[in-house]
Structure 1
Amino acid sequence: MAGKPADHRDVHIGGLIEERRLRAGLSREALAAPLEVSLSQLGKYLKGANRLSATDLDVVARVLGVPVGFFFEGMPGREGHPSGLSDRPQAPLEALAGWTGFAEAVALAAESHLDREHRQALGSLVRAVDRALSRQQTFDKENNSAPSD
């Protein structure tokens, strides 16, 4: 049994995805790959001709670095909708993110969600981890030796 047909909400969501994809400088191929869909199918999503599943919308949000709720902002009929958990950014899609932006993401999250005392405590923890990691030696597969002091 097929799902519900696409409607004006799907057109709105598809338009926001396309706009955000272009602003991010992301190719259609780069967006279609994590969704595991053809370029033709992606085009249907972007035009709002086909409806995205919740799972696929989550993947798109992570690839584009926006909260899922971003796609519902400004949607006709949703004016005055109260803020909620969807206002927080989605975690990046693990396959694309790596660790490159980890420190920046932690700093931004700490600035947004922690008071000064907790930010300082987090900073102390990060510095302690950095010091501990900088003292470690490279792991040797041949003799499996632990780091020496």
Structure 2
Amino acid sequence: MASGEGVDRSEREHRPSPIDVHVGGRVRLRRTLLGMSQEKLGDALGLTFQQVQKYERGVNRIGASRLFDLARVLDVPIGFFFDDMPDALGGSMNTVRRAIGFAEQQDGFEDDTLHRRETLELVRAYYRITDTSVRKRVFELIKSLTPTD
């Protein structure tokens, strides 16, 4: 039997779409960056933590209204969930988005930067600063310490 033969339709239908897996991964990334548990996110959305798990793994597809709610709760634009999508999944869309300024490419920004423990701890600490003026000054300080182009 050649590769791919013998896989019936019902088996294919139960595999998560790569796009759903990517969007779910972005939900998990943002939730983790905020230091939010699956249970807390579920409570904010009226879901169980098991439902949140399924969304994050891409097992359950996220509908438009749920994506809107996720963006609101996680405080990101809806486009965040599609950022960094591999070209094989939405390459032409990413090219168009960059061309019109929606997804600005940053030189030297590696995809794994967002997954480093140091990054997660820094973002969590940043969002624990409750005074918005202090948080803004910390942000400006960090920007001032980076090399200029």
Q: Normalising by structure 1, what TM-score?
A: 0.51
Deviation of the 1:33 alpha carbon: 1.4
Higher helix share: 2
Q: Report 1 or 2 for greater relative contact order, CA contacts < 8 Å, sequence distance ≥ 6.
A: 2
- Residue 41 and residue 35 in structure 1: after superposition, are their counterparts in 2 closer, same or farther (change >3 A)? same
Q: Distance in 2 between matches of 1:81 and 1:32?
A: 33
Stretch of structure 1 that moved more, 77-86 or 36-45: 77-86
Runs of 4+, deviation exceeding 3 Å: 83-87
Residue 73 of structure 1 corresponds to 83
1:16 to 13, 20, 26: 26
Is the 8 Å Cα contact of residues 17 and 46 (structure 1) preserved in structure 2? Answer: yes
Q: Distance in 1 between matches of 2:75 and 2:101?
A: 16
How many equivalent pairs are there?
89
| Fraction of identical pairs, as percent | 39
SS at match of 1:80: helix
Deviation of the 1:34 alpha carbon: 2.5
Q: Distance in 2 between matches of 1:10 and 1:40?
A: 16
Deviation of the 1:57 alpha carbon: 0.7
Gaps of 5+ in 1: 88-99, 105-149
Gaps of 5+ in 2: 1-12, 104-129, 134-149
Structure with the greater alpha carbon radius of gyration: 1
- Residue 34 and residue 86 in structure 1: after superposition, are their counterparts in 2 closer, same or farther (change >3 A)? farther
